[in-house]
Structure 1
């Protein structure tokens, strides 16, 4: 089969279109033909080794992210060392074409979404996970193999590309919205509201009846309002001046960087700050007095609670959320797609389409 193989930590030249053996499903597994694969920050961060504790820069500062990191780096991936060479791609819409020995043949032919964050433990909410495309081969290929429990059949009129915008961004967003306890009337602030995760948070918080305030560039303001935000603050302005101190209940922030202190200043007593990323930089300054005097809660989210992805799929099937597909690219144009993704001019996500199978 044709696949994009990431050969190690580094720049775009580490992405190599290759012919590799087609995988086979083992016991408890299914073989999925990839129909469309979304592009995500996590794919780029893993290639750059950005998760290493030695990296302190923003996710789009790739030269700094690469500097000093080599293929032998032991902490550059989600769970430590990334198993290069690796087929990346954490977002997959596909079709089940085979099951392993003893598997349920009824799923063959079903269009599915693959759960990006895969629990390894037996508990209902295991925090031992592996990620598609980071810890095991993913969707930047014509086929991928995953455990049967990680494929979710989906009945929807959306296109394959539209469905491929969902798994990582919306699973991550739903996990944060759920843990934050957002409900009717909760005032929620969403920095980076035009991004893949941010735009998902806007929609998922609104479906719970929250009052949602987004932060985005002026050029993207109308798009963020269209997907449900009640207000949009212009990026670069002071949100404390705009909204007032202690004026929101929840901040769901995947931006971080120098604006972290302002996010905490906006929280009411007993407020909640939730994060699963740090695209503007992971190193922040925290005054512990703000935390404990305000009775604030800080929640970090990586592993998804068990109910999260099934819930997201049900929202798709009931039409309670909408896809935000900016553009599709042939999988062979992955470098162009990732470069465009890093420009952050889009709202939502971009998607790769694998080569058509030969007869």
Structure 2
């Protein structure tokens, strides 16, 4: 991860907005001076965010959420899109972890790349392989920065901000939580470790009714909402949209956050910025506004084998990816208004 640079004296403003860019970089402002010598980062910027399920340092992390933010060279707006976690892709060999080349779901790239020589797992190292695979999919030669946040870390981010508000665009029923936020009970046959139950829960469920007006979500509610796919007509594609919507809502809230809140957010995120510090990135994206975010859904479809077994997902977004790589997303969307869906 890296980007061409040249020196320039630039002020650090107290406000940095824009979905993923904000989620990654606003924490730097908590410790930033009013003005400082910073490195200028020119050209388009591509940022990668991976959300992982925390299962301990000795369990391989899977990237359950993969979101890309493309910031044009002219810094006019930002484009957010997701890669389905079940996207079937070739994953190259990765000498750092000793993993062999294979073709599987993209969320496995984080796990394959994260393994350390001592048997533990390093999410930042896993992000390196995930970025390589995501680059192969999108045509982005090199991501400029990225971050990894696990479920606990995400809950801490929202808690540090005192909750977050967002509209809910469809009725959502939780697979995992009761109305009071406690975990749902398991079916008797699914209680033993390794039972293999796909949907092991039973009993009352937390519900999130559709609402055009923003709904105030507690930290556990925010995480629970964006984890859901069962019962939604678009399944994982609906879940991806909700994740982008929530990320944008968090970004807007971060724009008004106090220094203490920002420090708590920073502690919950693993940041990978290449040769540049958080302050460099904060300065580079200081003019962006969270109200100027375009979040898009990419067209995809399921992949089955000859016997009808589900293998994963594919995307039909080659034209959009070429526009991202060429930094021509805005004109592409004007010329191809039905190529993607808008959140």
Would the TM-score normalized by the shorter structure come out above 0.5? no
TM-score, L = length of structure 2: 0.30
**What TM-score, normalized by structure 1, do the two folds share?**
0.29
